C-alpha cells in the first residue's frame, strides 16, 4: 500500500511552512519586493513562460514541494503513463493521450497492441478524409460540398475541441463552419438546425462506446432530420468510436468510422481523432498536426525537465500548496485573449473530473482534500464581472494567461495613447500585482485592499497551433501531476454513475407513461413523482 | 451603528442548529424520506416554483432563518430600495432597477427627479426607435437596412443582455443578428468585423460615464472602421449613457442617445435601456416589455410575500445558511436549458460583484464571510464535465433550473422510449436526488457516494419573455436580500478600483515607449518591467 500523502515527511514540513507563510513578514507585497523575485520564481520551457512570483511561496516552500514530488515519485508515475503502463488501475487501462502526439517513432505497446501505430494509422485516415472533403471529392447526397460540420458528442467528446476550435477560429479558412450539439436538450438541436443547410452538413458522432445516452438521442434526431430531407446517412454521417462499437457496424453504414481507443479517456482526447476529425475539417490537417507537435514539445518538457524547472510540475505543486496547505477551495483560469474563451470550461472538466476524487488508487479514503473548483471567463471581461470579490471578498488563486502577439496585430489605432492589445496587457500586468500588493486605506475601509491574493501568469508567444497544443499539454500534465501526489486515479470517473442509474429509473417511469397516458406513476419517490407530474401535465403545480 | 450580524440572537441559534444538522440523523437521505418533505420545503410565487427540499434544512432551521430576516428587517430594506431611498450609501445613490419595470404608474422620486417617469420616457424612445429600424425607415449611410447590431459594452453593460438574448434567440424574428464586443482584446474586434457587413451594422455603445476604458477603445475602433468604409457615425452609432456624458454630446453627433441613470447600477441594468435597446432590436419591443412585466411580477412577489413563502427570500436565507453555517465556499447554477447557457455568467457577475465585499454599510470590517464563488454550465453538459467532483469530491450547493416546456416542442422523436426533453428531465430529476441520497458501497470505495450534498431546483413553465424576466428578478432579489442580512452594500464596487489605477500607471509607461521607441522603461517594478519588455520585444524572454 502506498503511504498516505499526509504521512510523508515533506507534507509535514509543508504544514509548518504554511504557518510561517501566514505571517505578515511573508505578505506577498513583501515577497515580491525582492529584486530577484521574478528570476527566482519563474521558468521557461516547452515553449511557454510561467511566472509564479505572485504565489505565496518562498525558496524553502518550493524546495519542500519538490521534495514532496520526489517522495511521491511523480516523475516516474508520469513516465509510466507515457510508456503505456496500466496507470488507470480501477479500469485496467493505460492512459496514452501523449502517444497521440508522439512523433518519435518509438513503439508503445498496450495489451499487445502497438498504440502509437494505431494512432498514427487513424491520423493518416483523418488527413486523407479532410483532404477529400476540402477538395470537394466527397459531397453530400445531392452533390453539394460540405460547408457545415456538426459535432454530436458531450463532455470529453466536445469541450476540448470547442476550446481549440475557438482558439483557431480566426485562422479557419476551409469554408466550413463548425457547430456543437452536446446537450440532449431539444432546444440545442432545434437552434442548431435553424443555422445549417441540410444538404451541405456533415455530422460527426463521437462516442467511444456509442451508447452515451445524450449522444445517441441526438444521433437519432440527426438521422430523422436526414430522412426528412431525403439525405443518406452514409453520405452525411461519420463516427469517431471504438472499433466494433455500435457506431462501427457495417450493417449501419456511415461515410467513415474513425477509431478511438480505451487507452485515451474523453477529457484527454482532443489530440486523438476526437479532436482530429472536426479540427482538421475546420482548419486543415496541417494545422491540427502543428497543434500536436506543440503538445508533444510540452509533453517532452513535462517528462524530462527537472521538477524545479518543469512548468506543469511547478504549477501542480503550487496548486497542491494553495489547496492543501493554504486552504483555497477554488481557482480561476483567466485568459486575456478572446480566442481562449472556452479554455476555462475545458480545464474545468479536465481538472475537476480528473481530480474530484475521494479515494486513493488502493481504494482507501483520501484523508486530504483533492481537486478544487475551477472556473473562469476571459479578461478583461472578468475584471468587470467577479473581480470585485477577488479583490475584496474571499480569496482564490488565479491563473492569468497572456498572449504576446494577438491574431489581429494589424489594428493599431490608439486610445489613451495605447493600442487595444497594449491596453489588454496593461490590465494583465496590473491585476496580479494589485491582488498581491493590495493597498491600505485606514480612512475608508470600503477602499481598503488587503492584498496577499496569489496568482500565476502563463505566457504564450502567440495563438499559433503549436502554442495551443503546448497550453493543452501544460494543463493535462499539471492535472495528472497533482493526482500522482495525492495517489488518486485521475483517469476514471465513477462519480458520474449514480446519477446515470437514477436517471435510468426515472426514464423507465416516463416510458410507461409514454406507452400508456393513463398510467399513474407509482414507482418513484414523492419528490420525483411531483416533477414527473408537472412534466407530463405541462405546467407548474398550482 | 447596525448590530454586527453574528451578534444577533437568530445567528447564534443558527450556529447551534448547524451542529445539530451535521449529525447522521439529519443526512439528506433521512430528511427527504419524510413523505411531506416537498410540500413543506417548496414554494410557488411570482410565476416560478422553488424546491428546497434537498437543502440541509429542517423546519427549525427555516424558522430561525426567517427570524434572522426579521431581526435584520430585510423586507423593509427591500421596500426602501424599491421606494428610491439612498440605499447605495457609499455612492449616495438609490438603486431603482425595479422602477425600470414598474408599470403601476406610481411616482418614485430621487433627488427631485421622477425616476419612473424618466425610465418610462426612455422606454417610449426605445419602442419608437426599434420600430423605425424594423420598418426600414432608419437605414445605414448607404441606404441598406440594418441586419447586425453590435453592443460595445463590458460587465454590466453586456452580461445581462447576453444572457437574455440567448434565452430569446429561438424567437428572434426581426432579421437582425446581435453581436457583443465587450473585451478590449483586439482579437475580439478582429473576429467581430469578419462576421458583419459594415453597411448594415448598427453599433450600440453602452457606458454610463462614457469613459470606461475598454468601451472607449472599442468605440475608437468602430469609428475608424466606419471611416474606412465611408460610413457616417450619425447613421451607424447609438449610445446608451448618462445625460450629458461625453456620449451624449451634440458636438459628436450620433443617431440617437438613450439615457441611463445613476440610480441603476450596471449589473442590475438589463431591464433599463442597457438591455432595452439591443433586445428590442433583436426580438422587438413588445417581447422586451413582456420581459419587463415578468420581472415586475417577481419584484412584487419579493416585496410583498411573507418571508416563509417568498421565493428569493428563501433562496437568500438558504444561501446564507449554506455559506455562513455549513461552510460551503462556492455554489453552482446549472440550467437544464441550452438557451439559458449564459445565465451562470450573468449570476456570477450579479452575485459576486454585489456580495463580494469585506465591509459593512458603516465601513466596519465584516466579521463573517460574505458572498461565495458562483459558476456553472448547462446540464446535462455539466454532468459530463465537473459533476464527478460534485458527487465524490468537495461539496458545493447547486441551483438546478428546469423548464417544463422547451422552445422546440415539436421534435418528439424518442430514443430509449423518451423524447430528448424527457431525457433532459430524467437527469434534472435524478441529479439532485443522487447528490442528496448518495449510495453506500462498502466493498468498492471508488463507487461509494457519501450523499448529503445540497441543492435547490427552480422551475419555469417555459422560456417566454415573462419567465426570463421572473428568473432575472428572482436572482436580483436573492442577491440583495443576502446583502441586507450581512448589512453590506450590494450596489458599489470599489474593489475594482485598485486594478484600474495600477493599469493606468502601466499604460503611462507604454505611452512613453510608444512615443519614443528608444525609451527605457524605468518607472515600473521589476516584474512589470519584465512583462513590458516582452510585450514591446514581441516575444517571450529567453
pLDDT of B390 > 80? The answer is yes
Q: Which residues of B are catalytic?
A: 353, 384, 500
Given an 8 Å threshold on Cβ–Cβ distance, is A386 in contact with B352? Answer: yes
Strand ranges inside A16-144, DSSP E: 42-45, 48-51, 109-110, 113-114
CA distance A60 to A66: 10
CA distance A288 to A293: 9
| Residue of B252, B473, B261 whose CA lies nearest to B350 | B473
- Best of A28, A531, A541, A542 to substitute, by most chain B Cβ atoms within 10 angstroms, is A531
What is the model's pLDDT at position A364? 93
B36, closest residue in chain A (CA to CA): A526
Q: What is the DSSP string of B78-145?
A: HHHHHTT---BGGGTB---GGGGG--S----EETTEEHHHHHHHHHHHHHHHHHHHHHTSS--TTSPP
A393, closest residue in chain B (CA to CA): B356
Show the cell assigned to B77. Answer: 430594506
H or E segment and range at residue B281: helix B273-283
pLDDT tens for chain A, 542 residues long, are 689 999 999 999 999 999 999 999 999 999 999 999 999 999 999 999 999 999 999 999 999 999 999 999 999 999 999 999 999 999 999 999 999 999 999 999 998 899 999 999 999 999 999 999 999 999 999 999 999 999 999 999 999 999 999 999 999 999 999 999 999 999 999 999 999 999 999 999 999 999 999 999 999 999 999 999 999 999 999 999 999 999 999 999 999 999 999 999 999 999 999 999 999 999 999 999 999 999 999 999 999 999 999 999 999 999 999 999 999 999 999 999 999 999 999 999 999 999 999 999 999 999 999 999 999 999 999 999 999 999 999 999 999 999 999 999 999 999 999 999 999 999 999 999 999 999 999 888 899 999 999 999 999 999 999 999 999 999 999 999 999 999 999 999 999 999 999 999 999 999 999 999 999 988 889 999 999 999 999 999 74
Contacts (Cβ under 8 Å, ≥6 apart) of B437: B28, B29, B32, B451
When CB atoms are compared, the residue of A393, A500, A542 closest to B357 is A393
**pLDDT exceeding 70 applies to what percent of chain B?**
100
Q: Give this complex's ipTM.
A: 0.97
Strand ranges inside A63-200, DSSP E: 109-110, 113-114, 148-152, 177-181
Q: pLDDT-based confidence at B62, cuts 50/70/90?
A: very high
For residues B342 and A345, the answer to whether their CB atoms sit within 8 Å is: no
Given an 8 Å threshold on Cβ–Cβ distance, is A349 in contact with B386? Answer: yes
Q: pLDDT-based confidence at B221, cuts 50/70/90?
A: very high
What is the model's pLDDT at position A2? 85
Q: Which residues of A touch B461 (CB under 8 A)?
A: 539-540
Strand partners of residue A334: A400
**What does the radius of gyration of chain A's CA atoms come to, in whole angstroms?**
25
Strand partners of residue B43: B50
Given an 8 Å threshold on Cβ–Cβ distance, is B380 in contact with A214? Answer: yes
Q: Which residues of A touch B38 (CB under 8 A)?
A: 526-527, 530
Strand partners of residue B189: none
Q: pLDDT-based confidence at B541, cuts 50/70/90?
A: confident
For residues B403 and A531, the answer to whether their CB atoms sit within 8 Å is: no
Neighbours of B32 (CB within 10 A): 20
Q: What's the pTM?
A: 0.98
Neighbours of A228 (CB within 10 A): 9
Given an 8 Å threshold on Cβ–Cβ distance, is B353 in contact with A408? Answer: no
Task: Return the SS3 of B417.
Answer: coil
How high is the mean pLDDT of chain B? 97
Torsion-angle region of A25 (φ positive above 0: left; ψ -120 to 50: alpha; else: beta) = alpha
Given an 8 Å threshold on Cβ–Cβ distance, is B372 in contact with A359? Answer: no
Given an 8 Å threshold on Cβ–Cβ distance, is A510 in contact with B417? Answer: yes
CA distance A171 to A364: 48
When CB atoms are compared, the residue of B329, B379, B385 closest to A348 is B385
Amino acid at each position: 500500500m502506498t503511504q498516505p500523502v499526509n504521512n510523508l515527511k515533506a507534507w509535514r514540513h509543508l504544514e509548518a511552512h504554511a504557518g510561517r507563510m501566514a505571517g505578515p513578514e511573508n505578505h506577498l507585497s513583501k515577497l515580491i519586493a525582492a529584486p530577484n523575485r521574478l528570476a527566482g520564481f519563474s521558468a521557461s520551457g516547452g515553449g511557454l513562460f510561467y511566472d509564479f512570483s505572485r504565489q505565496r511561496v518562498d525558496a524553502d516552500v518550493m524546495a519542500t514541494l519538490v521534495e514532496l514530488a520526489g517522495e511521491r515519485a511523480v516523475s516516474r508515475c508520469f513516465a509510466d503513463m507515457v510508456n503505456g503502463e496500466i496507470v488507470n488501475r480501477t479500469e485496467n487501462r493505460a492512459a496514452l493521450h501523449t502517444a497521440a502526439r508522439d512523433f518519435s517513432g518509438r513503439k508503445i505497446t498496450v495489451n499487445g497492441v502497438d498504440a502509437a501505430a494505431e494512432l498514427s494509422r487513424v491520423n493518416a485516415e483523418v488527413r486523407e478524409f479532410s483532404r477529400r472533403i476540402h477538395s470537394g471529392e466527397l459531397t453530400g447526397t445531392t452533390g453539394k460540398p460540405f460547408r457545415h460540420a456538426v459535432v454530436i458528442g458531450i463532455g470529453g467528446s466536445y469541450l476540448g475541441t470547442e476550446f481549440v476550435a475557438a482558439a483557431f477560429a480566426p485562422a479557419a479558412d476551409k469554408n466550413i463552419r463548425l457547430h456543437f450539439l452536446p446537450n440532449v436538450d431539444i432546444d440545442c438541436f432545434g437552434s442548431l438546425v435553424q443555422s445549417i443547410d441540410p444538404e451541405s452538413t456533415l455530422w460527426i458522432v463521437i462516442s467511444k462506446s456509442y451508447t452515451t445516452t445524450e449522444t445517441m438521442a441526438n444521433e437519432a434526431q440527426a438521422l430523422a432530420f436526414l430522412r426528412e430531407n431525403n439525405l443518406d446517412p452514409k453520405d452525411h454521417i461519420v463516427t469517431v468510436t471504438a472499433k466494433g462499437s455500435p457506431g462501427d457496424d457495417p450493417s449501419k453504414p456511415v461515410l467513415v468510422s474513425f477509431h478511438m481507443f480505451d487507452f485515451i479517456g474523453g477529457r484527454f482526447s482532443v489530440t486523438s481523432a476526437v479532436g482530429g476529425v472536426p479540427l482538421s475539417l475546420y482548419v486543415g490537417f496541417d494545422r491540427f498536426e502543428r497543434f500536436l507537435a506543440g503538445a508533444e514539445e510540452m509533453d517532452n518538457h513535462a517528462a524530462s525537465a527537472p521538477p524545479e524547472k518543469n512548468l506543469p510540475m511547478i504549477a501542480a505543486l503550487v496548486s497542491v500548496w494553495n489547496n492543501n496547505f493554504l486552504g483555497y477551495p477554488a481557482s480561476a483560469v483567466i485568459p486575456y485573449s478572446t480566442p481562449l474563451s472556452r479554455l476555462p470550461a475545458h480545464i474545468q472538466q479536465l481538472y475537476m473530473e480528473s481530480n474530484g476524487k475521494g479515494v486513493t488508487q488502493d481504494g482507501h479514503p483520501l484523508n486530504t482534500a483533492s481537486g478544487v473548483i475551477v472556473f473562469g471567463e476571459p479578461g478583461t471581461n472578468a475584471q468587470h464581472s467577479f473581480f470585485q470579490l477577488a479583490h475584496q471578498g474571499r480569496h482564490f488563486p488565479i491563473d492569468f494567461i497572456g498572449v504576446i502577439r494577438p491574431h489581429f496585430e494589424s489594428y493599431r489605432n490608439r486610445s489613451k495613447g495605447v493600442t487595444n492589445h497594449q491596453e489588454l496587457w496593461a490590465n494583465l500586468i496590473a491585476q496580479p500585482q494589485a491582488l498581491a500588493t493590495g493597498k491600505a486605506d485606514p480612512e475608508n475601509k470600503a477602499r481598503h485592499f488587503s492584498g496577499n491574493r496569489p496568482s500565476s501568469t502563463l505566457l504564450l508567444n502567440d495563438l499559433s497551433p503549436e502554442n495551443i497544443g503546448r497550453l493543452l499539454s501544460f494543463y493535462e500534465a499539471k492535472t495528472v501531476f497533482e493526482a500522482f501526489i495525492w495517489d488518486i486515479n485521475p483517469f476514471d470517473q465513477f462519480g458520474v454513475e449514480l446519477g446515470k442509474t437514477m436517471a435510468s429509473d426515472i426514464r423507465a417511469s416516463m416510458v410507461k407513461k409514454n406507452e400508456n397516458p393513463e398510467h399513474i406513476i407509482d414507482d418513484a419517490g414523492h419528490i420525483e413523482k411531483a416533477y414527473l407530474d408537472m412534466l407530463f401535465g405541462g405546467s407548474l403545480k398550482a
